[in-house]
Structure 1
Amino acid sequence: MSSHGTIDTPWLPRASCSASCVAADPARASRPTIVAARTTLRVLCAVLIFTAVPLLAIPMPGRSRVQRVYCRLMLRCLGVRITLSGGPIRNLSGVLVVSGHVSWVDVFVIGSVLPGSFVARADLADWPVLGVVTRLMRIIPIDRANLRRLPDVVRTVADRLRAGHTVVAFPEGTTWCGVGYGSFRPAMFQGAIDAGRPVQPLRLSYHHRDGAASTVPAFIGDDSLLTSIRRVITAQRTVAHVRVQSLQLPTGHRRDLALRCEAEVRGTGGPEAARRHSAGGHALVA
């Protein structure tokens, strides 16, 4: 999911984001006593909610609803609120969900809106805490250092879509700070084309309580998971905004489909604009 400890490859490049992209919550330093009390409460709440994670693995009617509720509760414990806008969320069988990739928080944000199986780096299952959650969410592992296995991943995505499951992928291939971003890689879109299933782009952004863009959730550069969690949980409030964009049919070449979806995610209005914005995404603003 992130660029930590990876090797640059044509499919999974390293983002140019660094620690300089991440700005602290401006409200954090002003009231240390309140911050400490709020952080303690959030940690206790998150630990309590985490003990219920085995529920995500139980086959049951309404399992998707359980996953949505669980993810929303976990986000509230972390101090993250969600706002939703855009088109309706269609109750379709077999849809590929794509968005930009900023943080491990994305898993809970998207899981609270359109729960499904995530395409994620293979070693994520070995991470503390988050690894348990992603295993129960039936991640589709991708080995970032072995591109020869990429066709197997695409086939798995297509098989899940044909079976009527929702699959979530981050086509940038790595995390960015949320202000800068990378271009969408086309490989995962081949799974949607092979399965003949539509793609649902989501525009995901993070904000401070006052509405200003926030890079607090960004998981980039030399961040450790613990450092990133601490930054999120000590912020006064983070607002994750999800905008549901136009559903894209699996027509044309996978590169064209990737460009169309990128244009929807960026709000740039078309494939050519998406190409221009992707090229300029490396010029970051903190």
Structure 2
Amino acid sequence: MTEPIVHTHAWMPSSPCGEGCLPKNPPTVGRIVVVLRVVLALTAFGLLPVLVVLGVPFPRVRRSLTRIGARTLLFAIGIDLSVLDGRSERERSRTAGGALHVSGHISWTDVVVLTAVQPSTFVARADLVDWPVLGRLAQAMKVIPIDRARLHRLPGVVEQVADRVRAGGSVVVFPEATTWCGRAYGSLRPALLQAAIDSETWVQPIRLRYLDRTGEPTAATCFVGDETIGASIARIFRLRGLRAEVEFTAPEAPGSDRRDLARRCEVAIRRDDGVEPAERHRKDVYDPTLHEVMAEVERRPMPPTVSAA
């Protein structure tokens, strides 16, 4: 058996956020509550794929069951949910038949939160399906995997996203390309937004924040640095007084320039944040053209292999 050596590239996303971003001594719940949360979460995880399968012949039923399962899981995690939607009926209608949804990325909990609001297909890291517990949810939701270390596969991911929205589906992308703490954040990288332009589909910016019990933004749920998924789950299950706030802003027309589209979406989802994106002035923002992708592939035509021990 052989394992390919994966080479990183100049456009690999990275975030400076780490353990230092986590709040010191956040409010927590007792052991009994943690046990009850774990039991409820495992029940929801076990039932959700079954419910989704049972509802396959009826898309509306499937979406409703998925939303109920996600909300149950969110309740088990201990995160309340509030949704803000100031869109007009006309604006809502622009994304009713399928759209590309764009959000900042803070944690693995983002997928649960957004599914609890509106079940969609997610573009997610390729190894998500291998994660404990969360992998089952990812498989049930038929995520579109993206391996950012393999640059030559990016055009195929863009094509998959475009096909989904053309067919009337809703696809969520996280153009920051990695998780940030939620108090600092990265610029939206335009590459995946090409799917909206190719499919001539409206884009729905989503402003996602996590708030503490005082209503102030918190980094308590962030999944950053060297923390493992298991450690993150264990830590977040102990937290108390958290609320996820999801705000739908006015949809953005796809236009013909993905960089301009990314800029417009960033303005929409960062409104009133009061901080400057850490990557706004970087010149290596992840936006390779197809020509650049192929040039990268030609420089590394076939990765060498080594024998596994």
TM interval, short-chain normalised: 0.7 to 0.9
Q: 1:259 aligns with which of 258, 263, 285?
A: 263
Kept in 2, the 8 Å contact 1:25–1:236? The answer is: no
What's 1:191 paired with?
195
Scaled by the length of structure 2, the TM-score of the pair is 0.81
Deviation at 1:245, TM superposition (A): 0.9
1:205 aligns with 2:200: no
Report the Cα offset of residue 9 of structure 1: 4.1
Partner residue of 2:233? 229
- Whether 2:164 is the aligned partner of 1:160: answer yes
The CA distance in 2 between the partners of 1:35 and 1:80, in whole Å, is 16
Q: CA deviation at 1:37?
A: 1.5
1:31: which partner in 2? none
- Please point out which of 8, 31, 51 is paired with 1:36: 31
The amino acid that maps onto 2:13 is P
Partners in 1 of 2:233 and 2:65 — Cα distance?
Answer: 24
TM-score normalised to structure 1 length? 0.87
Unaligned runs of 5+ in 2: 1-5, 283-309
Paired residue for 2:52? 56
Going from structure 1 to structure 2, the CA distance change for 1:25 and 1:79 (only over 3 Å counts) comes to: farther
Q: 1:106 to 1:281 in 2, by over 3 A?
A: farther
115 and 281 in structure 1: CA distance in 2 versus 1, 3 angstrom threshold: farther
Aligned 8 A contact 2:187 2:280 in 1: no
Which string of whole-angstrom CA distances, capped at 9 and with x for unpartnered residues, describes residues 8-51 of structure 1?
Answer: 645441101011011145323xxxxx511211111111111111
- The structure having more radius of gyration, on CA atoms, is 2
Report the CA distance between 1:66 and its aligned residue.
1.7
**Match for 1:16: what amino acid?**
P
3-state SS of 2:138 partner:
helix
1:13–1:174 CA contact under 8 A, matched in 2? yes
TM-aligned CA deviation for residue 168 of structure 1: 0.5
User: Which runs of 5 or more structure 1 residues have no equivalent in the other structure?
Assistant: 1-5, 29-33
Root-mean-square deviation (Å):
2.3
Q: Deviations over 1:58-114 (max 9, x none)?
A: 412422222211111100000001111132455611200110000000001111112
- Quick one: which amino acid aligns to residue 20 of structure 2? S
Structure 1's 206 and 7: CA in aligned 2 closer, same or farther, altered over 3 A?
farther
CA contact (8 A) 2:108 2:223 kept: yes
| Cα pair distance change 1:268/1:235, threshold 3 Å | closer
Residue 75 (structure 1) aligned with residue 74 (structure 2): yes
Range with greater deviation from structure 2 (79-88 or 143-152): 79-88
- Cα distance, 1:144 vs structure 2: 1.6
After the TM superposition, which of the residue ranges 7-16 and 151-160 deviates more from structure 2?
A: 7-16
Residue correspondences, number: 268
Q: Which amino acid aligns with 2:22?
A: V
